[in-house]
Chains A and B, each alone.
Chain A
């Protein structure tokens, strides 16, 4: 394991503002924001309807009177209907994939780009990045905000960048070895790909000079963190963001690694029940909603991310006063409710990764044959773990059963199936089939305010 120890360094004084000062700052910025966006068509209409003006925002509680913004709203105003500045002031465009074919376009002014780089720099410094380091960025450089976002964040910190971008793993490995980079930035699954490809090529991925890795862009579990740390011999840190809010830099872990600090001087975060839209208390899972306080080109009010997380307002040992968010175990659109319990496909995946011999290829089926919901999970048997002994196969089956129950809290019927029988796909594999007849309540359509 690397000898490198992460020092607790805090880049900006805003990260340790006393809560009362932070709230006062947020309120002032919220009022300014409301004033700035009155001419954005979607907000103009909502403000008129609800009779909202900057003066009517007297406290942070008045946030609840403001409208939510959803991905569907952004799509309705594609491409630039949410632009709050003139076209000439836009210095950059980025985009993210949409479910309907058109990407969601986001825009940045010069000031927005500087803000973005600084926000990324905050979590990079929190995780231990130093100016003398070399950083290997294996995120795609393009419309996707990951590549460019982290790039300028690293530049702010003063470290050297190797913009390896994505693809050509063999070349990435060669560069990691030859340039002796200290830090790796990519998706967590790509980190594991790199480790596997290195081993297949006869190299030991622990022998690379890497000390530290910042991973994000997709959901990943604590187990995967341990796996990455073991396989690459590095400290692995989580960060979170989404392009609509700004890109990476919305939140990131500190050295304590007990949740990701949200940059509250620039974003107001809410955690709401996706059905009722009421706030949920700390430690309870809900949908993350962000209001961008200082972005100029495309600010958003109460943007519903569809990402599920829990918040923790307690003081962090690192000294930062900002609220922390948990990992994102899933999204409102993949969450299942079975016998009243929230279950995410990622939990099943985590369970399978923990059982030796189970391949992480699975299919969840939900039915309601009588009055009770039933979940069954088909799991592919790995050829190398197939045994001629019934006792071993039964033990594998039972281990999977127990692990799923331990992680999700409910019992599923586990079925072992032959390898390669479950669908594979290049992108997101289909993991869930819900046979229940009643339509699940749609969580994406609510555009109401809290006055519903």
Chain B
């Protein structure tokens, strides 16, 4: 029930962000969502794409450093308190959130948020026990294409 996220090291220089995007565009890879974490010195670009293995290959070939990390996509009610509910369940379980970011699409009144946990398997189990909907890759891509 985990999603594959790619992360790229970006030097803090002009053009470093557009380069990987161009590389993926030429390979016909569509970005489903992304997040850019930055410091003054460098950035980490996190991407969710449909075919992560192909994306990793083309990016590495173009000279990028790419990591793959397993993250968890969680369905959150798109109304006040929706996210808070999910977060309190996670906190109760004592699980640490490294970072999170939202998907650009939503269906009906539900948004999808990506979470990076230190222990994704334990997180998935905990969320399920709270009846919070965890979305796997297949369903995620279907929703993205819709």
Contact = CB atoms under 8 A, between A and B. Distances in A.
Interface of A: 381, 383, 386-391, 393-394, 397, 414-421
B73 to A, nearest CB: 16
B98 interface: yes
Interface of A is mostly: mixed
Interface of B is mostly: strand
A394 B77 CA distance: 34
B26 interface: no
Contacts of B37: 390
A388 B11 contact: no
A391 B98 CA distance: 9
Contacts of A420: 63
Given A388-B7, A388-B116, A418 B67 contact: no
B119 interface: no
B18 interface: no
A387 B67 contact: yes
A388 B63 contact: no
5 contacts: A381-B65, A386-B65, A389-B99, A415-B42, A420-B63
A390 B44 contact: yes
B1 to A, nearest CB: 19
A386 B67 CA distance: 7
A388 B45 CA distance: 8
B42 A416 contact: yes
B69 interface: yes
B9 interface: yes
A418 B9 contact: yes
A417 B39 CA distance: 13
A417 B11 contact: yes
A388 B69 CA distance: 7
Given A394-B39, A414-B41, A416-B11, A383 B65 contact: yes
A418 B64 contact: yes
B67 to A, nearest CB: 5
Contacts of B65: 381, 383, 386, 418-419
A393 B38 CA distance: 11
A421 B99 CA distance: 29
A59 B9 CA distance: 65
Contact of A390 (B5, B69, B99): B99
B50 interface: no
Nearest to B8: A386
A393 B63 CA distance: 19
Contacts of A397: 39, 41-42
Contacts of B11: 415-418, 421
Nearest to A421: B11
Contacts of A390: 37, 39, 44, 99
Given A415-B41, A416-B41, A418-B11, A388 B64 contact: no
A411 to B, nearest CB: 14
Contact of A388 (B39, B42, B67): B67
Contacts of B5: 388
A156 B9 CA distance: 56
Contacts of A417: 11
Nearest to A389: B98
Contacts of B39: 390, 394, 397
Q: Nearest 8 A-B pairs (CB), nearest first?
A: A388-B7, A388-B69, A386-B65, A390-B37, A383-B65, A386-B9, A416-B42, A388-B67
A389 B98 CA distance: 7
Contacts of B64: 418
A28 B67 CA distance: 70
Nearest to B16: A418
A391 B37 CA distance: 11
A232 to B, nearest CB: 31
B114 to A, nearest CB: 12
A397 B99 CA distance: 19
A359 to B, nearest CB: 12
